[in-house]
Amino acid sequence: MPEQPDLLATLAPLAGALRDAEDAAAAEAGLTMWQYAILITARSTRYNQLELATALRYNKNRIVGDLDRLVELGLVAREPDPRDRRANVIVVTDDGAALAVSTQRRVRAAEDALLADLTAAQRNQLRTLLIAAAASAQGAR
């Protein structure tokens, strides 16, 4: 049986192509990839700034500029955190949620195009397996 490559070596080219596709979809919406990631992540859970940076594995100092820009665009708001008066929670506005959904549609279309050699069932299975693997890895941290 031929030796199989490590998972990282297998995933790296796909991850790079997916990142490029997500960058392009976000740019079409007037966002950076990180701003899109903020909208997608913060629309389902109320995070303070540090929690959001941690959830995204993004630099806690760099996220400030992205949040400032999203506030300027009216896509997110900062509200006092009831758990900590010194912090703010990030709340996605209706406009931000709508832009996140439309951008996510573009991202999913780009993903489907990248994985066009797979059937729809295989693409769904891959997504399900990757979500499970990511959750498992998240729990191991």
- Per-residue pLDDT tens digits for 32-68: 999 999 999 999 999 999 999 999 999 999 999 999 9
Residues facing 91 on adjacent strands: 77
Please state the φ and ψ torsions of residue 65, each to the nearest 5 degrees: -65, -40
Q: Show me where the domains of the chain are located.
A: 14-140
**In this structure, what token pair is assigned to residue 3?**
């030796």
Distances (CA, A) of 127 to 18, 88, 100: 13, 33, 19
Fold held by 14-140: Arc Repressor Mutant, subunit A (1.10.10)
Helix intervals (H) in 47-93? 49-56, 62-72
Query: Residue 105 carries which side chain, given as an amino acid letter?
Result: R
pLDDT confidence tier of residue 140, bands split at 50, 70 and 90: low
Provide the terminal-to-terminal Cα distance of the chain, rounded to the nearest Å: 33
The pTM is what? 0.88
